[in-house]
Amino acid sequence: MLKETIEECNALYEEADAIINTPLKSKKIQVSVFFKENTEGILRCSMRSKGDIDVAVIAQAFNGGGHKTAAGFKSKYPLDEIMVKVLKMLEDYFI
């Protein structure tokens, strides 16, 4: 979610905080990843998981933190670039 989207919707940055948990309500979804850009243009990645997927390992690879089922980090990469990097790291859990 880019800052332009938040502004166009006349929403507050914090109003999107709960979005990360919604996909995990499905029994088939094992991991949820949400990228959100704040008003200063800093991109944050939030991750939630269930089962054996350790999202803290991914967050730590980008100088973030958290624990096995809830972690995140701030990205120095543009959205299209960081999205590919995160998804590539998650790929190992699904092969």
Kindly list the domain boundaries of the chain, sorted by start residue: 3-94
pTM to 2 decimal places = 0.89
Residue 2: pLDDT band with limits 50, 70, 90? confident
User: Which CATH number applies to 3-94: 3.10.310.30, 3.10.450.50, 3.40.47.10, 3.40.718.10?
Assistant: 3.10.310.30
In angstroms, rounded to a whole number, what is the distance separating the alpha carbons of residues 2 and 37? Answer: 5
pLDDT of residue 87: 95
Within 8 A by CB and 6+ apart from 65, the residues are 56, 59, 71, 72, 73
Within 8 A by CB and 6+ apart from 18, the residues are none
Proportion of the chain above pLDDT 70, given as a percent: 100
